[in-house]
Structure 1
């Protein structure tokens, strides 16, 4: 009879070796768990947010970026030379949000583009001023003179209201945020109006009696806000559409990082002091409820579309 091979009996580890292996396994498990906990509980990395502005050279923006960094948010400022670029950049995802415009401007962009950018917080309201290199008093502007106003629709209508308040023109129907030069009652007006790109009005002042200059271009034109010979009243209840805002896409309106950036702007004494200095104390900081801003946007959008 041929003998068969039988399986070898498994070796039994001595008690000490078993304890050593068990301890090693426990240590490894603890290291793995510890590493996992460290990963889960590690401090969150700073969020990077791209913020579009017009006029990033103003010193308060550096103050704002530093304040955001202290809150754990890295802000990258993206500066634009004109108003036509920041909204499309947010729409296309190149920016997270922007801060350069008032509600009327945003409403006109949304109505024209079919997009859904929305206010996520207010910053301030800035009176719009009339400037001149020839005259220090509106009353001195001769009849028949030419006055320049911005050609973009939102600031054009507001500029016309400034001229009406200054007694230089009369608008049929009393004036509205949708008026154009076609709404001027020429027979009842003292001056004629010429539309120019907002950035060109400052350089054109030697050639006109006066010009309404957007705040972003006042200093660039070699002027100060104190040089204005007339301006509108930011305390007027009808001024809400001209409140400046942070804007983002509608799906990010409640994004906690973006809303935190609004709070930093509104609540930082250093930032607000910088805004005041940059505007020669003309800026009036606001904490308008977001719901009010969004309601105003919808109203102006509807009116804009109705205008057609």
Structure 2
């Protein structure tokens, strides 16, 4: 019987490394720190969801019922911009509201109107984008042509400084009045020369359409004519919006000077010039409006020149 093979002596156990549990503890600590930081960030930082990026822009206008606003609002909503249209009953309210930050933009006026306001109210509102030029028409419920208007007839015109001057220039072009020195963008009823065919009746712009019931005719801005249900095609005379003389009457989105480069506002202006919105604008104006797309720098230059003219006349 052979002898049993001796069992080799067992090796001592290898000491357990402490590296593993140290790494584990470190990972746990880091996880806790990260969790705490994330909680703090979520509490203190703005949310990053799409809804948090939406902005609301208040735009003042005298034609809030115009259908194109719905088209523009829908286009803006797709860009995370919610447009809130703020209506004003007359032209004198929207600029002070913009200056005092009650609204963010306005869209109702041409450059000459803006120049007159800036000078008169020591303001620095600026155009950020052009929109349209709309002809200024003469209407009459009594006469079917300018030639039918008799000597001594009474014609209502808007009484705000800039639309009043434009109305007088329209009447002069129609042969109904003669203005001193040929008239200017700042002419007033005092400049109507004796012997002119008609007498002018300055009234609030919103009252020019109702004035057709009593006067022999009236110069009525397009938005008030449409509101009153007047067909633009029934105008017996109007100026030509395509002439260079129409530059002072380019309508524009207007902002405070500090917001002249606001990306959101510029996006709204860009959307205004997309085809769906433009089609709605033209339809609303019964195709009387002429779309204008001029660089902001040109609009600013025109405004500056008009402001100098207004100041010189003070």
Q: Which residue of 2 aligns with 1:274?
A: 280
Q: Structure 2 CA distance, aligned partners of 1:15 and 1:292?
A: 72
TM-score (ref. length: structure 2): 0.88
State how 1:38-117 maps to structure 2 within 5 Å: 42-43=49-50, 45-117=53-125
Q: Which residue of 1 aligns with 2:25?
A: 21
Q: Which residue of 1 aligns with 2:148?
A: 140
Q: Structure 2 CA distance, aligned partners of 1:231 and 1:300?
A: 22
Q: Which residue of 2 aligns with 1:5?
A: none
Residue 18 of structure 1: CA displacement?
A: 3.4
Q: Please say if residues 242 and 290 of structure 2, whose CA atoms lie closer than 8 Å, have aligned partners that are also in contact.
A: no
Q: Provide the aligned C-alpha RMSD in A.
A: 2.1
Q: Please say if residues 133 and 291 of structure 2, whose CA atoms lie closer than 8 Å, have aligned partners that are also in contact.
A: yes
Q: Which residue of 2 aligns with 1:213?
A: 220
TM-score (ref. length: structure 1): 0.90
Q: Structure 2 CA distance, aligned partners of 1:21 and 1:264?
A: 57
C-alpha distance after superposition, 1:151-204 (max 9, x if no partner):
0010000001111111111112112101111111222x2111111111111111
Residue 65 of structure 1: CA displacement?
A: 0.8
Runs of 4+ in structure 1 off by over 4 angstroms are 13-17, 29-44
Q: Which residue of 2 aligns with 1:167?
A: 175
C-alpha distance after superposition, 1:122-161 (max 9, x if no partner):
0000000001111111111111111111100100000011
Give the 3-state SS of the residue equivalent to 2:212 in structure 1. helix
User: Could you tell which deviates more after superposition, 223-232 or 30-39?
Assistant: 30-39
> Residues 39, 200 of structure 1: CA spacing in aligned structure 2 closer, same or farther, 3 A cutoff?
closer
Aligned length: 294
Residue 222 of structure 1: CA displacement?
A: 2.6
1:307 counterpart (300, 310, 313) = 313
Unmatched 5+ stretches in structure 2: 1-16
Q: Structure 1 CA distance, aligned partners of 2:244 and 2:211?
A: 33
2:296 counterpart (276, 290, 302) = 290
